[in-house]
Amino acid sequence: SLGRVDVDHVITRKMQLIAEAEQLKPAFMKEVDSHFTEFVNTLVAKSALLDSSSSASLFPASCTEKELHKAKTLRAPPEHGKIFTARRSLLDELFEVSHIRTIYHMFIALLIVFILSTLLVDFIDEGRLVLGFDLLVYVFGKFPVVFCTWLCMFCATVIVPYHLFAWWAQGYCSSSHRVIHSFFYGMLFTLSGLGFGPTYVAVSYALPPASRFIVILEQVRLVMKGHSFVRENVPRVFSSVKDKSSTVPIPRISQYLYFLFAPTLIYRDNYPRNPTIRWGYVATKFAQVLGSLFYAYYIFVRLCIPQFRNSSQETFNLRGLVLCIFNSILPGVLILFLVFFAFLHCWLNAFAEMLRFADRMFYKDWWNSTSYANYYRTWNVVVHDWLYYYAYRDFLWFFGKKFKAAAMLSVFTVSAAVHEYVLSVCFGYFYPVMFCLFMCFGMVFNFILNDRRKGPIWNVIMWTSLFLGQGVIICLYSQEWYARQYCPMENLTFLDHLKPRSWSCHTKM
């Protein structure tokens, strides 16, 4: 009324429209596959009519253009938080189109070529077929230690955050010194977190790289889960105390356990659920994860190890560095695609299906991005939502909405620091390539290649810079890895841990 939009009504209506659209998507994709040209021509005419009629019904004529734009945005207003709704993953929909599915078949064909190439080269060199997977056995070694460490981390995450919150919530309602009470439990929560226990296990037991990745990434995931659980439930306790409610809003332990396994980092008491579990779909996704693992193995065996094993024995110079970066672009991009497909699509969808978790928007169409700002929002929606609601938005709530640039800088800093922490522990050396790329090039590109860049040329620029970045990462980290194998040092000082070994290794050989 009076030219104002009822935001709650608009959001509810939009969620209903999204749910209805999700039910129509399979038929839509099949129709596109069979009658692409004719369907699109008809869709253009119908969408214009539908858009005008829906806009007239949802918004009053007196609504200003600025308010209309805000109401149409996909993200709900901050006070609503993230809204979960039933929807499929984008690749599941795209693979129903034969033209897109052919691209998937091309990657499978490339894997077959890698396998044949490896087998033929081994047969020519050795005179027999060598079917060993020594690299996979090595990088995933010491699995019993990994499993015991994960089990301890998971039990700690189940016990500590939930019970500390329950004790705090029960005591907060009756406490006469609520600030001191909250500060005490806040300190307990901070000190009793996962801490550096997993890091100590990874380093002291000399876990191989892939095993370290499992431990450290699980550590980061569980810390983010615990923070979300507390962050989402503390305001509910405040509200119940303010309303003088007789009940304390403490979630059930079963709800918390479901959240720990659910493929999301945003806590809710309940999520949209599917009616059944498609076990064939689960088996297919896990098989694709296994296939991606072998794909990565052959990429390293055929494209990375021969190159870096030989280049690490040559004198370090600018020409060699440039050639190394450009020769690393192909394996770097393939590894990027495999990480996205295996984890963000297959792994998360498999767990979502087993848990009947209906909201499968783990990523968006990041490959169509014309700006790095959009790429960061769409590449990994699961992590981006956590950073947006608990880092960016809470920063603005604490310091004020005038500090949006500082809030964005803080998000970049947190993300860069966590990425560098994971890589440093997993590789066993400190070489801040990822941190520099995030804080320097990533942040600069975020402002230069912003959302105002809409032309196709900007998508080309985005992909070009992404290719070069992957080449830099694969090249520099691989050089450092082999340098530390060829040039071991005894009685290391603190500076020796910080100084890249690849800069001086060749002069000592």
Catalytic residue (choose from 177, 345, 419, 506): 419
Please check whether residue 182 lies inside any domain of the structure.
Answer: yes
Please check whether residue 450 lies inside any domain of the structure.
Answer: no
Give this prediction's pTM.
Answer: 0.78
**419 is an active site residue:** yes
Please check whether residue 354 lies inside any domain of the structure.
Answer: no
pLDDT for 262 equals 92
Please check whether residue 319 lies inside any domain of the structure.
Answer: no
**What is residue 50's three-state secondary structure?**
helix
How many structural domains are present in the chain? 1
Please check whether residue 375 lies inside any domain of the structure.
Answer: no
Handedness of CA 69, 383, 428, 301 (dihedral sign): negative
Report phi then psi at 87, rounded to 5: -160, 150
Please check whether residue 248 lies inside any domain of the structure.
Answer: yes
pLDDT for 363 equals 92
| 75: Cα separation from own chain's centroid | 18
Please check whether residue 207 lies inside any domain of the structure.
Answer: yes
Please check whether residue 360 lies inside any domain of the structure.
Answer: no
pLDDT in tens, the chain (509 residues): 455 556 666 667 777 777 676 666 666 655 555 554 454 444 444 443 444 344 334 334 334 444 434 333 333 344 457 888 888 888 888 888 888 888 888 888 888 888 888 778 777 776 666 666 778 888 888 889 999 989 988 888 888 888 888 877 777 666 555 555 555 555 555 555 556 788 888 888 888 989 999 999 998 898 888 888 888 888 888 777 776 766 777 888 899 999 999 999 999 988 999 999 999 999 999 999 998 998 888 888 888 888 777 665 666 677 778 888 888 898 899 999 999 999 999 999 999 999 999 999 999 889 988 888 888 889 899 999 999 988 888 888 888 778 888 888 888 888 888 888 898 888 888 888 888 888 777 777 777 766 677 778 888 888 998 899 899 999 888 888 888 877 777 766 767 667 777 777 754 44
Q: How distant, in Å, are the alpha carbons of 64, 194, 493 from that of 498?
A: 56, 26, 9
Render pLDDT for 157-213 as a digit per residue (tens, 0 to 9).
888 888 888 877 777 666 555 555 555 555 555 555 556 788 888 888 888 989 999
Range of the domain at 222: 132-271
**What is residue 273's three-state secondary structure?**
strand
pLDDT for 79 equals 46
Handedness of CA 469, 472, 475, 477 (dihedral sign): negative
pLDDT for 288 equals 92
Q: How distant, in Å, are the alpha carbons of 224, 290, 313, 422 from that of 220?
A: 6, 23, 36, 9
- Tell me the three-class secondary structure of 132-151, residue by residue: CCHHHHHHCCCHHHHHHHHH
